[in-house]
Structure 1
Amino acid sequence: MRIAFYGSSLLSSYWNGAATYYRGILRELAERGHDVTFFEPDAFDRQQHRDIDPPEWACVVVYPATTEALNEVMDQAANADVVVKASGVGVFDDELLQGVMERARPDALRIFWDVDAAATLDEMRAAPDHAVRRALPGLDLVLTYGGGDPVVSAYREMGARDCIPVYNALDPQSHFPVEPDPRFACDLAFLGNRLPDREARVEEFFLKPATLLSERSFLIGGNGWESKAMPSNVRHRGHVYTAEHNAFNCTPLAVLNVARDSMAHIGFSPATRVFEAAGAGACLITDAWEGIELFLKPDEEVLVARDGQDVADHLATLTPERARMIGRAALARVRAEHSYALRGEEVDAILRERRAAKTPQQEMERA
C-alpha cells in the first residue's frame, strides 16, 4: 500500500523524540512491501541537525513551513492508500489534520497517530472544539505511542471508531552494546529535552539524587538544560545525536528514564529511551509508572524508583557486576519481545485487515 505519513521529522531527532519510533516502524512497513512517503516541515532547526540522510526505504519530502507548501503536500494525500497524520508536527497541525483527511480518497484509510496521547486527551477534555476531537468521527482508526486501556477507552469515549496502542520498541540495527566512551563516563546519565511537563520530575529523580550523592558523578544530555541551575557534580552534554546513543547508554554505571507528567500519570507508556537503553545493555533506573512489568521485570531487568531518594538508594548500592547483570537481562528481554520487527508486523496486519474491510464497505455505499 502507498502510505502518506505527515509527521514531525524522520531525518532529525532534534527536539523530536519520536524520530526513532517513526524510523523503526516505517522501515519495517517498507520491508513488508509498503511504499512510504514521509512529509516533514523545515522547522525548529531540525534540518540543520539531521541524524540520518534520507533512507532508501522511504521517500522523504521536506517542505517549507509556508501555507503554499502546506497545500502542495496536502494535495499528495490523494495518491495514498493510507493517510496518516501524526500528532506534534509543530507547525500547521490543525490545518494538516483537516486538509489531508479531506483530500484522502474515499477508499483510503484515514489514521491519526498520536505520539503523546495523554497530553492530547487532556487538551481535548479542556477544548470540546479541539481539531482532533472534531476529526475523530471521520477517521478509520487512531494509533497511539502507548497508554494501554486507559487511552483506548478515553479515545473511544471521545468519538474514535477504534484506538490501538503501538508501543515503542528496540531497533537492534541502531541500538546495541558498544565499547564505553570517556565522554559519557559517569555514575548516572539522563537523556531528554527540557520540557515543561518533565522538568519537575527531572528535578526530583535526577537532580535530587545528585545533591544527595555529592561524591558521585552525573551527566545530563538533551536540549534546553544549559540555563538550568544544577549541582556541581552534574555535567551538561547538550544534544546527543542518535549515532551517539549507544555509547551514552553503555558507558555510565546506570541510565535514568524519567517519564513526562502525562505519561507517568496514565501509565503503559514506555519512552523510546527505555528500549534504546535496554538494547544497549544498560542498567536502567526508571521512575515508577503503571505497566512497567509488561516491558521489563523490576529488580531483574530494570530498577524502579518511586522518588529521588529511591534513585539515590539504588545508585549507592549498585555494583558494576549487578549493573551488568541487569543490563544483560534487559537486552535479552527487549530483543525477544519488544523489537520493531514485531511492531512492524503488528501494524502491517492492522493496515491490511482494515483496508480489506473498508473496500467492500465503500463499494456498498457507492451501490
Structure 2
Amino acid sequence: MRIVLFYHSLISDWNHGNAHFLRGVVTELLQAGHDVTVFEPLGGWSLDNLLEEHGDHARLAFHDAYPKLQSEFYEPERLDLDRALDGADLVIVHEWNDHDVVARIGQYRHSSGDFRLLFHDTHHRSVSQPEEMQAYDLRHYDGVLAFGEVISEIYRERDWAERVWTWHEAADARKFRPLEADRTDGELVWIGNWGDDERTDELQTFVFEPVDELGLDATVHGVRYPDEAVERLERAGLDYRGWLPNFEVPRAFSRHRLTVHVPRQFYVTSLPGIPTIRPFEAMACGIPLVCSPWEDAEGLFRRGHDHLVAHDKAEMKETIRALCHDDDMVAELARNGRETILERHTCAHRVEELMEVCRELGMDAPERDDARLSPPRA
C-alpha cells in the first residue's frame, strides 16, 4: 500500500510526544513493505525550537537513530496535493495540522481522490479547546482515529465524524527495550515536559517532595521548565538536564532504578483511560513504574502487577522506598510490565489494528503477520 501521512513533525520530539508514536508506526509500516511518505510543514514550532536550542546536531542525531525515516517538507499555502497524493491508497492527517490543510485534503478526497482518508486525534483539545476541534472540516473523511475511547465517544456524541476507531498509542519495541547500564545516575528518573501548569502541584506532591524527603539521587529530563520550576528542582535535590532525545530514553532508564508517571490533569479528570505514551515506553524498557492516580478505564494494563499506583505523597514515598531496597520487587514489576507491552501494546500491534480499519473500509490490506507482533524480548 502507498500510505501518505501529514503530521506536525517526524524529526522533532521537542515538546511533541506524538513524534514518538509516529516514528514507531512508520518503522513498522516500512518493515511490513508499505510505501510511506511523511509530510511535515516548514516552520513547525517543534522542529524550530529544537534547532534553536540544540542546533543541527539534533536533526543529524535523529537521522543516525532512524536512518530509514524521512520527511518531506512543505509550505501549507503552497501544498501541491496532486503531487503529494499521487497513487495514495491511505492518507492520515494529524490534528496538529492547520484547519485549512485538513479541509483541503478532505475536499481533494471528495473531488479527485481514490484513497481512504483518516483524521488522527492524539490530544486533549476535544475537552480543553472543543471549539478548535469542532472547526475541523471532516465531512469528506472516512473516519477518525482517536487515542482513547473517551475521545472516540466525544466525536460520536457531538457528531464530529460518522466513524471513529480507538487507536491507542504504543511503544516502539524496536527502540524501547531493556539495556545494560553503562553507569548509574541515581535511583529515580522523571522524563516529561513542564506542561503549562497542567500538573504543577502533582509534580510537587508525587516527585519533588518524595525525592527530597527520601534523600534520593534523581534526574529530570524535559523542556519548557520555567526558572521557578528549575529552582524547585534544585531545592529538592533533583538534577535537571533539559531535553533528551526520545531515542535516548532507554539508556536513561537503564541508569536508574525506577521511574514515575504523573499524567496531566485532563487525563485524570476529563479523559480517563488515556495514559499517553510515557508508561508504554517505560514498561517496554523494563523499568519499574509508579503512577500518580489515574483511572485505567479501558484496562490496558494490570494495575498492581504491571505498574503501581500511589494515591498520595505518603504512599508514593513508601512505594519508592520499597523499590529502592527490594530487588525481587523491582525484577517482578519490570518483567510484568514488559510482558504486557510485548503481548498487546507495541507499534506493530497498532499497525495491525490500522490494517483492520483499512479492511473495514473495503481496502485490500495485508492480513495479520504474527511474526512481526513478536519482537525480540531482550
TM-score of the aligned structures, taking structure 2 as reference length: 0.82
Correspondence for 1:251: 255
Aligned-partner Cα distance in 2 for 1:271–1:74: 35
The code of the aligned residue for 2:8 comes to S
Correspondence for 1:223: 223
Q: Is the 8 A contact 2:106 2:138 kept in 1?
A: no
Residue 278 of structure 2 is aligned to residue 276 of structure 1: no
The code of the aligned residue for 1:76 comes to A
Aligned length: 342
1:81-100 counterparts in 2 under 5 A? 81-89=89-97, 93-100=98-105
The change in CA–CA distance for 1:98 and 1:74 in structure 2 (over 3 A counts) is: farther
Q: Is the 8 A contact 2:99 2:137 kept in 1?
A: no
Out of 128, 131, 144, the position equivalent to 1:122 is 128
Aligned-partner Cα distance in 2 for 1:180–1:330: 19
Correspondence for 1:62: 73
The code of the aligned residue for 2:225 comes to W
The code of the aligned residue for 2:193 comes to N
Residue 228 of structure 2 is aligned to residue 233 of structure 1: no
Instruction: Tell me the CA shift for residue 134 of structure 1.
Output: 4.5
The change in CA–CA distance for 1:75 and 1:240 in structure 2 (over 3 A counts) is: same
Aligned-partner Cα distance in 1 for 2:331–2:133: 47
Aligned-partner Cα distance in 1 for 2:205–2:119: 34
Aligned-partner Cα distance in 2 for 1:315–1:123: 36
Aligned-partner Cα distance in 2 for 1:225–1:294: 32
Q: Is the 8 A contact 1:109 1:355 kept in 2?
A: no
Determine helix, strand or coil for the equivalent of 1:5: strand
Aligned-partner Cα distance in 2 for 1:283–1:242: 18
Determine helix, strand or coil for the equivalent of 1:225: coil
Determine helix, strand or coil for the equivalent of 2:105: helix
Aligned-partner Cα distance in 1 for 2:264–2:314: 19
Determine helix, strand or coil for the equivalent of 2:156: helix
Q: Is the 8 A contact 1:226 1:238 kept in 2?
A: no
Correspondence for 2:373: none
Residue 347 of structure 2 is aligned to residue 340 of structure 1: yes
Instruction: Tell me the CA shift for residue 303 of structure 1.
Output: 1.0
Instruction: Tell me the CA shift for residue 57 of structure 1.
Output: 5.4
Correspondence for 2:62: 52
Aligned-partner Cα distance in 2 for 1:57–1:185: 32
Correspondence for 1:212: 213
Correspondence for 2:369: none
**75-84 or 106-115, larger mean C-alpha shift:** 75-84
Correspondence for 1:34: 34
Correspondence for 2:174: 173
Q: Deviations over 1:2-57 (max 9, x none)?
A: 22211121122122111120122222233334321111124332464335229575
The change in CA–CA distance for 1:216 and 1:356 in structure 2 (over 3 A counts) is: closer
The change in CA–CA distance for 1:198 and 1:162 in structure 2 (over 3 A counts) is: farther
Aligned-partner Cα distance in 2 for 1:355–1:52: 36
Aligned-partner Cα distance in 1 for 2:204–2:314: 12
**198-207 or 186-195, larger mean C-alpha shift:** 198-207
**32-41 or 340-349, larger mean C-alpha shift:** 32-41
Aligned-partner Cα distance in 1 for 2:30–2:359: 14
TM-score of the aligned structures, taking structure 1 as reference length: 0.84
Instruction: Tell me the CA shift for residue 329 of structure 1.
Output: 1.6
Aligned-partner Cα distance in 2 for 1:262–1:333: 25
Correspondence for 1:364: none
Out of 261, 286, 293, the position equivalent to 2:291 is 286
Aligned-partner Cα distance in 2 for 1:74–1:285: 49
Determine helix, strand or coil for the equivalent of 2:138: helix
Determine helix, strand or coil for the equivalent of 1:253: strand
The code of the aligned residue for 2:72 comes to V
Instruction: Tell me the CA shift for residue 219 of structure 1.
Output: 1.5
Correspondence for 1:154: 154
Q: Deviations over 1:200-238 (max 9, x none)?
A: 43233212323433x222221011226212224111011
Determine helix, strand or coil for the equivalent of 1:177: coil
Q: Is the 8 A contact 1:74 1:99 kept in 2?
A: no
Correspondence for 1:136: 138
Q: Is the 8 A contact 2:4 2:90 kept in 1?
A: yes
The change in CA–CA distance for 1:339 and 1:223 in structure 2 (over 3 A counts) is: same
The code of the aligned residue for 2:191 comes to L
Unaligned runs of 5+ in 2: 365-378
1:18-33 counterparts in 2 under 5 A? 18-33=18-33
The change in CA–CA distance for 1:170 and 1:292 in structure 2 (over 3 A counts) is: farther
The change in CA–CA distance for 1:292 and 1:252 in structure 2 (over 3 A counts) is: farther
Tell me how large the CA RMSD over aligned residues is: 2.5
Unaligned runs of 5+ in 1: 358-367
Instruction: Tell me the CA shift for residue 340 of structure 1.
Output: 1.6
Q: Is the 8 A contact 1:74 1:96 kept in 2?
A: no
Determine helix, strand or coil for the equivalent of 1:28: helix
Aligned-partner Cα distance in 1 for 2:155–2:135: 9
The change in CA–CA distance for 1:199 and 1:37 in structure 2 (over 3 A counts) is: farther
The code of the aligned residue for 1:303 comes to L
**104-113 or 165-174, larger mean C-alpha shift:** 104-113
Instruction: Tell me the CA shift for residue 95 of structure 1.
Output: 2.0
The change in CA–CA distance for 1:177 and 1:292 in structure 2 (over 3 A counts) is: farther
Identity of aligned residues (%): 24
